[in-house]
Amino acid sequence: MRAAQIPTPGEITISDVPDPKPLPHEVVVEVARTGICGTDIHILAGEFAPTPYPIIPGHEFSGTVVARGSEVPADLADGTRVAVDPSLYCGHCAYCRAGRGNLCENWNAVGDTVDGAFAQYVSVPADNCYVMPDGMSFAQGAFVEPVSCAVHGVRRLGVEAGERILILGAGSMGLVLTQLLNAAGAQVTVVDMVADKLTTAEKLGAVETATSTSGLSRLGFDAAVDVTGAVPAVHDAFDALGRGGRLQIFGVAPAESRIELSPFRIYNDEITIVGTMAVLNSFAPALDLVARRVVDADAILSHTFGLGEFAEAIDMVKSGGSLKVQIDTRQ
């Protein structure tokens, strides 16, 4: 099969590799669409510690079941259209046993630590496959994984109707969070340095937008979510909170970066700081939210490339001028 492979950090090859064979509990999915995520950029740069090389990346994907292992349940028949949760939890560490598999000590994921979906075929555990409803396109199906990260984030943040919530970063994840928080009854304000992205944020429900927090009509937010991973944005988010506010770190910062926050203010204003990491029991709700258009995937999908154009697609993501970029692996 044809696959986009990263043989070693910094290098991309499009090559013929052996077709995957399913283990007894696995199915082979003929991939249709795969989204490019910030993690893929980190994997390409050699900045994602768990990744071994060579690897075929790609963890946001949809496709069709074409081969099944001997222990796969009959209802996951050949021809079933599926969106796939890439998470591979060990099931036996203390975190898995406490129901927090996303924090698994032996964490793995399709496309991050084992070969993924920037390829014609990928082998995945049958349990990770979610059947797509008839009206859902493959492009929408490949968008379920990032939405499931946002669903987990919203659960971790906790949101009450009527709250004022600030989102820093109007990339694809910021725009998903805008829609989810808006649907939950919050008043969502979005800040991004790129003015063009704010127009989309407004279409998707933001009540106010600006290119910096200093351009907003008022601060004192009940919660602020940083989706950039950039230290100055985290500081802005913290400063924009009202007393009793919650600061959520959703964006992925480099492991060595540090923020500087006033412990006095955290104490005196009862500020809560909340992390959120990937997907936890949130894939099925995300599939439903995409199917019902609570999250409008099509509004956030900005570019589609063929598998042979993987390097160009990566450059498009790095340019910052795109929202969600997907690969049509059948092209």
- What letter does residue 43 receive in the DSSP assignment? H
Q: Which two tokens stand for residue 215?
A: 């351009």
* Least separation in angstroms between CB 320 and Zn ion: 17
Residue of 96, 166, 168, 223 that binds Zn ion (CB under 5 A): 96
Residue keyed to tokens 């009959």 = 74
- Measured at the alpha carbon of residue 77, what is the angle toward residues 74 and 82, in degrees to the nearest 5? 120
What is the identity of the amino acid at 66?
A: V
Q: Which residue has the tokens 């407004």?
A: 202
Q: By rule CB under 5 A, what string of x and - marks binding of each residue 28-67 to Zn ion?
A: ---------x-x----------------------------
Q: Assess 104 for contact with Zn ion (CB under 5 A).
A: yes
Closest CA to 77 of 121, 29, 34, 20: 29
Region from 87-95, 134-142, 168-176, 286-294 binding Zn ion, contact rule CB under 5 A: 87-95
- Residue 105-144 contact track with Zn ion, rule CB under 5 A, x = bound: ----------------------------------------
> Of 6-14, 102-110, 178-186, 298-306, which segment contacts Zn ion by CB under 5 A?
102-110
Burial classification of residue 97, based on how many CB atoms lie within 10 Å of its CB (0-12 exposed, 13-18 middle, 19 or more buried): exposed
What gap in Å lies between CA 217 and CA 133, rounded to an integer?
A: 42
CB of 111 to Zn ion, least distance (A): 8
Q: Does 314 bind Zn ion (CB under 5 A)?
A: no
Tokens of 244: 């009793």
- Closest approach of Zn ion to the CB of residue 104, in Å: 3
3-state secondary structure of 121: strand
DSSP state of 55: B
Q: Contacts with Zn ion: how many residues (CB under 5 A)? A: 6
In the complex with Zn ion, which residue's Cβ is closer, 27 or 142? 142
Is 122 in contact with 29 (CB distance < 8 Å)?
yes
Question: Would you call 66 exposed, middle or buried from its count of C-beta atoms within 10 A (0-12, 13-18, 19+)?
Answer: middle
Q: How far is the CB of 94 from Zn ion (least distance, A)?
A: 8
Nearer to Zn ion, 37 or 132 (CB): 37
Residue-by-residue DSSP string for 231-290: HHHHHHHHHTEEEEEEEEE-S---TT------HHHHHHTT-EEEE--S-SS-HHHHHHHH
Our finding on whether 90 is near Zn ion (CB under 5 A) is: yes
CB of 96 to Zn ion, least distance (A): 3
Instruction: Give the interface segment with Zn ion, choosing from 14-22, 24-32, 86-94, 283-291 (CB under 5 A).
Output: 86-94
CB of 5 to Zn ion, least distance (A): 18
CB of 13 to Zn ion, least distance (A): 22
CB of 32 to Zn ion, least distance (A): 18
3-state SS class at 150: helix
103 binds Zn ion (CB under 5 A): no
Given 1, 14, 76, 93, the residue binding Zn ion (CB under 5 A): 93
Which residues would be at the binding site for Zn ion (CB under 5 A)?
37, 39, 90, 93, 96, 104
